[in-house]
Amino acid sequence: MKRILRLPSLLRLTLVFFIAIAFQNCSQEKIKEKTDETLNITEYLRANSDYSMFLEILDMTNYASFMNTYGTYTVFIPTNEAVKQYLTDVGATSLSEIPLEDLQNIARLHILDQKVTTTSFTDGKIATPSLHGQYLITGASNKNGVSSVTVNKSASIVASNIELGNGVVHIIDKVLLVANKTLAQTIAENPNLSLFTEALKATGWFDELNKPLTKDENNVSSYLSVLAQTNEVFAEAGYTTLDQLKARYSHLNNPMDKKDSLNLFISYRILPGLQYLADIAVSPALVTKAPLEVISAKLSKDTILLNDDIFNGILEKGVAIDRAVSDVTASNGVLHFVEGNFAIKKRLPAPVYFEFTDIAEFRRLTSIWRKPGAAFQDVPLSEAGIDVTWDGKTTDGASRISYNKAANGTAITNGVAGCWGADVLEIYRFRDATCQNIAFKTPVIIKGKYKVWISYRQKASKLGNVKVFFDGVELPRQINLHEGGNTDTAGTPETVLESQGYKRYAQPWSNRVNCRLVGTIDVTTTARHTLTLQSQFNAGDSAWFDLVEFRPVEMNQLYPKFQAGGSGLIYQ
């Protein structure tokens, strides 16, 4: 002690200071251990008494602890009134009276294992299935002037997009119910579909539609979509009994035979996959259970029209889908209603002359497209995607195509003036990284065998060979963009040229343009197909393409020819 006192005053002071600090620091500091106080889904339910009954369901089915784990879930939470209404509907007084399996199904139907906010809702199904496996469908409805977003048509969302720690919840005013009837049962119990049911039974498709949902080895579900026809629609077309239908359609007198026309008539109305109206509205062609037959679909204002197509310049009016009653979910698919009778159309192969410039991306350049004056307009990758797409980066300015047209009346040896319509599709740099593969959606091609001729404006250098693919299958012959047209009309007759896979497609003819037979294709479905051009060279100049001809093999391959610098066809 004495020694301490003998220490110099400065040291003594320091000692006192440190002792003081040591005592002070002893008190424990409260540390916040969480960075986020947001509740998880189950905690949120416990904190809100309005949803206690749904929490009870989760507790009874042991989903409560699961919904409190980390993850990205979407839960549709029915209010207590909704659950009570459900109990009244099934005639129970408390949740404990309901079989556990039903409660499990209900709980799983309300939960998705991905975060889905209302901004990504469409008129159809939510892209993620519920944990139950059934898809939920969304939409919006207006009741008494008040609009709300709906789930499975019946339940309205009363509060949406509540962000919680492990996902997002939406509050709904009705319990969602699992669809437990098959398509066949749903159709059979609708008295307006009695004739349709009879036809289904007569052709054996009824059993097909009555099968429970299965999954194949690739985990693809066996969902089906049915385009049903009511008795009124049949009556309008003149059919009131099954016998009348048989008399009209059944050409083999055995509707059970898959090749019989009545069987095809029915299978043409059954689409593989789960296709809600929102899916149909955005798919141009629907594959059907009738082998190789497709239904074309298109959206005209707010009506979905089936088989509303232009063939050879003539509009064939289609039938509309009755939107108000369609989108009926069944356990193994979805049911729609059409407003008119429709059947498979028998068509003979017809030639298709597809000008590369006849694509939506160019057609919307209304002030220059096919106008008399010269025109040039770039289309960047960011604006493509309707009828044409190519590989490249949207940020790359060189990754572009252009509409290139010479003024009418320009000498055909000048620029692109020798092409049909005096216009071409120009690919700025047809090469790796900017645009190596360019894919076009063709007009509708009727099924059959066709020869494919591709015409282009030749350039002497900086270009090379192009491979052609039809629906992803490479065609045997390549095009050489250096190669000009043969003008030795006396020495090389057209038939000789044709046998070598060339022709003088334009008239009047110059060596600036050329046409090459790239192969023969077998088009299996009447639909729009994909034609892809693939560059085999490192282009240093722009490539110019005029048109592609799909000519049925039995047709004259030389005529009609195409007017150079004009839009006409030249027959002999």
Instruction: Give the interface with other proteins as residue ranges (CB under 8 A).
Output: 117-119, 121-124, 138-142, 145-149, 157-161, 277-279, 281-282, 299, 301-302, 323, 364-368, 371-373, 377-380, 382-383, 394, 403
Residue 138 in contact with residue 121, Cβ under 8 Å? yes
CB of 360 to other proteins, least distance (A): 9
Distances 443 to 55, 310, 356, 517, 567 between C-alpha atoms, Å: 55, 10, 11, 19, 18
H-type alpha helices, 61-171? 80-90, 100-109
Q: Which is nearer to other proteins, 376 or 559 (CB)?
A: 376
CB of 149 to other proteins, least distance (A): 7
**Given its phi and psi angles, is residue 333 left (phi above 0), alpha (psi -120 to 50 degrees) or beta?**
left
Name the phi and psi angles at 346, rounded to 5.
Answer: -90, 125
Q: Which is nearer to other proteins, 157 or 335 (CB)?
A: 157
Residue 305 in contact with residue 319, Cβ under 8 Å? yes
What is the per-residue DSSP string for 414-445?
Answer: STTTTSBTTEEEEES--STTTSSEEEEEEEEE
- CA–CA distance, 173 with 54 (Å, rounded to integer): 12
Q: Which is nearer to other proteins, 104 or 114 (CB)?
A: 114
Q: At what angle do helices 100-109 and 52-60 cross, to 10 degrees?
A: 120
CB of 455 to other proteins, least distance (A): 24
Q: Which is nearer to other proteins, 14 or 120 (CB)?
A: 120
CB of 469 to other proteins, least distance (A): 28
Q: Which amino acid is at 190?
A: N
Strands (E), 338-460: 352-355, 375-380, 388-390, 400-405, 423-427, 437-445, 448-457
CB of 171 to other proteins, least distance (A): 8
The DSSP H or E segment spanning 242 is helix 242-249
CB of 365 to other proteins, least distance (A): 4
What is the number of alpha carbons within 13 Å of residue 357 lying toward its C-beta?
29
Q: Which is nearer to other proteins, 147 or 556 (CB)?
A: 147
Residue 135 in contact with residue 125, Cβ under 8 Å? yes
Bridge-partner residues for 510, per DSSP?
A: none
Q: Which is nearer to other proteins, 4 or 146 (CB)?
A: 146
- CA–CA distance, 11 with 542 (Å, rounded to integer): 88
CB of 162 to other proteins, least distance (A): 11
Q: Which is nearer to other proteins, 146 or 314 (CB)?
A: 146
CB of 128 to other proteins, least distance (A): 15
Q: Which is nearer to other proteins, 163 or 316 (CB)?
A: 163
Q: Which is nearer to other proteins, 243 or 378 (CB)?
A: 378
Q: Which is nearer to other proteins, 398 or 496 (CB)?
A: 398
Count of beta carbons in the 10 Å neighbourhood of residue 304:
22
Q: Which is nearer to other proteins, 125 or 457 (CB)?
A: 125
The DSSP H or E segment spanning 147 is strand 146-151
For the chain, the distance separating the N- and C-terminal CA atoms, rounded to the nearest angstrom, is: 128
- Candidates 160, 158, 103, 156; CA nearest to 132 is 103
